[in-house]
Amino acid sequence: MNINRLIFPGFWFGKTQREDALELARRGVGGFCIYGGTLENVRQLVHDLRAASTLNHLFICADYEDGLGKWIPGTTWVFSNLAVGASQSEEIAYQKGLTLAREARNLGVDWIFAPVLDLCDEPQNPIVNTRSFGANPQQVAQLGAALCRGLTDGGVLNSIKHFPGHGRTTQDSHLRLPTLNRTRTELEQNELVPFRAALPYADSVMVGHLCLPALDDKNPASLSPAVITDLLQNQLGFTRLVLTDALCMKAIGDEKHAALQALHAGAHILLAPENPFALSDFLQAQSGLEDLLENAIYRQEALLLRLPDTFKNGLEAPAFNQKYAAACSVWTGQKITLKPGQEVTYLELGNEEDFAAQAFLATLQANGIKVKKYDGCPADTLLAVSFSNYKAFKGHINLSGVEQNSLIRATENSKQSLFISFGSPFGSEKINALCARLFCFSPAEEMQICAAQILCDKQTAQGKMPC
């Protein structure tokens, strides 16, 4: 048996050398997690890696939590989980799973690391936020289980994450190790509720890099026998695959020894090490891993049997977005309706991703609204639009202090002002001059169009705040 089966390297287009990946495939790694690329790039890479692999089946994984839009230029963002949470609809969660599966299968990806089951109960959490279904554990449980079923029925494997839940932390585990100071009772009543509900539908569980002193005061969850073996496998009865969060994250120190510790703690897959060749050499030099290796390979083979021969074809991403946009939007505050011929002032905030608000602005203009950029002068109607959202290794979220001050000055300088968020819902709570808020939770083009139509009284926001 080959210890490399337990390593799932990452492949980052523009960073990872193709020949290195092909060599790893020839060495017998169990799978790859793909980041970036174009549609054709990904399809060709998947074909080449599988052709080079020594295995009967090489798993191809991706973090397509919100479809391809975050990773592949020119493709569509599928609404975030927080948008689905606003709808409170298990059917929409299920349909999102079908749509994500359809997009992945079309590229040869057979394993999506989703859904996120962390709770959105800490506004300053820099890495959960819109990835969560909301703050209510029971609602997150229902929607997460439904999305799992959609992924399965759509023909791909799923992975619930980040066990046992790190929504109520304020640090990005890509940069440092967060600590969740909850008692065991609090964990049972909050973080563990969604995972417990989704485990029957889960193909795999991704364990997070975070410290939970109530469970283990020495080791991160991803390296902890108390969390993986005692809690997840023995107490909760999970018998399928357990994988670490990406080992290249900075929360766990030396990845070689962390990987060895994770295996002894009960993990079966070592995800995305920074140096997979060094990890391979290190593990091959270890003794006493035979039983762990045999167990992990057995579970990988069993997981292959869960890849269905037949599957349901979900909606294409744009069609899904268009169908459910209004149900996933939330309006709070006084009613504001824009009329043809009306002039509005537009202020853009929190855009570090080069999102284009073109669809939003074009739809307003198509409805006869005149839009001008905010220049500091008094405005009759101000539309303050935020794209603030999570990003790995960024370490912060929501509007910066400078942006907060800009928003305050602009709202105080306007007769009426509306805050529109296509990302994080947090950041405008203390700005009393705002007349209303429209929460859309996603930069998807179809959501931008819907937001403009809501402002023009062509659609109605139907959702409720999930956090």
Question: Is the pLDDT assigned to residue 460 strictly greater than 70?
Answer: yes
Question: Is the pLDDT assigned to residue 28 strictly greater than 70?
Answer: yes
The pLDDT value recorded for residue 396 is 58
One-letter amino acid at 377 equals C
Domains (ranges, CATH) in the chain? 3-316 (3.20.20.300), 325-455 (3.40.50.1700)
b/e 172-183 (16+ beta carbons within 10 angstroms → b): bbbbebbebebe
User: How much is the average pLDDT of 401-423?
Assistant: 91
Check if 174 is active-site: yes
Question: Is the pLDDT assigned to residue 394 strictly greater than 80?
Answer: no
Length of the chain: 467
**Mean pLDDT across the chain:** 94
- Provide the 8-state DSSP code for 234: I
The pLDDT value recorded for residue 382 is 96
User: How much is the average pLDDT of 370-397?
Assistant: 83
Identify whether the C-beta of residue 386 lies closer than 8 Å to the C-beta of residue 349: yes
- Cα(140)–Cα(198) distance, integer angstroms: 10
* Residue 395 banded pLDDT, cuts 50, 70, 90: low
Tally of CB atoms within 10 A around 73: 10
CA distances from 341 to 117, 365, 366, 370, 389 (A): 45, 9, 11, 6, 33
Tens digit of each residue's pLDDT (9 = 90 or more) over 421-432 = 999 999 888 888
User: How much is the average pLDDT of 7-22?
Assistant: 98
The pLDDT value recorded for residue 353 is 67
Task: Name the strand (E) or helix (H) holding 407.
Answer: helix 401-412
The pLDDT value recorded for residue 139 is 98
Cα–Cα nearest to 461, from 333, 332, 331: 331
Q: Give the pTM.
A: 0.96
The pLDDT value recorded for residue 366 is 98
- Cα(324)–Cα(84) distance, integer angstroms: 9
CA distances from 200 to 58, 158, 329 (A): 25, 12, 30
Question: Is the pLDDT assigned to residue 392 strictly greater than 80?
Answer: no
Identify whether the C-beta of residue 311 lies closer than 8 Å to the C-beta of residue 94: no
Task: Name the strand (E) or helix (H) holding 271.
Answer: strand 270-271
- Cα(224)–Cα(265) distance, integer angstroms: 5
User: How much is the average pLDDT of 389-393?
Assistant: 64
- Cα(308)–Cα(444) distance, integer angstroms: 30
**DSSP β-ladder status, 436-439 and 330-333:** antiparallel
Question: Is the pLDDT assigned to residue 352 strictly greater than 80?
Answer: no
Tens digit of each residue's pLDDT (9 = 90 or more) over 71-121 = 999 999 999 999 999 999 999 999 999 999 999 999 999 999 999 999 999
- Cβ contacts of residue 349 below 8 Å, gap of 6+? 384, 385, 386, 387, 388, 399, 403, 406, 407
User: How much is the average pLDDT of 161-190?
Assistant: 87
Tens digit of each residue's pLDDT (9 = 90 or more) over 262-305 = 999 999 999 999 999 999 999 999 999 999 999 999 999 999 99
Q: Which comes out higher in pLDDT, residue 186 or 178?
A: 186
The pLDDT value recorded for residue 391 is 63
**Catalytic-role residue among 162, 174, 209, 268:** 174
Per DSSP, the three-state class of 15 is coil
- Cα(106)–Cα(100) distance, integer angstroms: 10
Please give the share of the chain, as a percent, with pLDDT higher than 70.
97
Identify whether the C-beta of residue 119 lies closer than 8 Å to the C-beta of residue 167: yes
The pLDDT value recorded for residue 428 is 85
* Residue 41 banded pLDDT, cuts 50, 70, 90: very high
Tens digit of each residue's pLDDT (9 = 90 or more) over 128-157 = 999 999 999 999 999 999 999 999 999 999
User: How much is the average pLDDT of 312-322?
Assistant: 97
Check if 396 is active-site: no
**DSSP β-ladder status, 241-244 and 330-333:** unpaired
* Residue 397 banded pLDDT, cuts 50, 70, 90: confident
**Catalytic-role residue among 110, 118, 121, 245:** 245
Tens digit of each residue's pLDDT (9 = 90 or more) over 188-219 = 999 999 999 999 999 999 999 999 999 999 99
Cα–Cα nearest to 162, from 174, 151, 150, 153: 174
